[in-house]
Amino acid sequence: MPKFLEDKLKAEYGNNPHAIYGTLNKLGAMHGNKETAKGRQMEAKHQRDVKAGTAKPMHPVMRERAQMVKEAHAHLGQAIPGFHQLPGRQKMMAAQHHVNLRQGKG
């Protein structure tokens, strides 16, 4: 599986495997729990780019949002009893809503 992409998604979605692997499946990098040819090509291209020094770092806005999502998960975990027991989709939606409110979009 494209490890670099999995790491980026973990940075954005925290410990939400449904969001991470759902995105990888939707992109075509994985099919179920198996890596596809497209996923192997993505990983190989990333490795070539890293070796050549042309790999793109995470965009600062995306890095900032990932940090805000982590903080939202931590805050909601303390503020809402049983938050960690909610289904992954509900936790993700709550964290995204929390971040949007902090950014003035809600």
Q: Which CA distances in Å does 18 have to 15, 24, 25, 56?
A: 9, 10, 10, 26
Q: Which CA distances in Å does 36 have to 9, 43, 49, 65, 98?
A: 18, 11, 20, 29, 34
pLDDT greater than 90 at residue 41: yes
Q: What is the pTM of this model?
A: 0.52
Percent of the chain with pLDDT over 70: 98
pLDDT greater than 90 at residue 67: no
Classified as helix, coil or strand, 4 is helix
pLDDT greater than 70 at residue 106: no
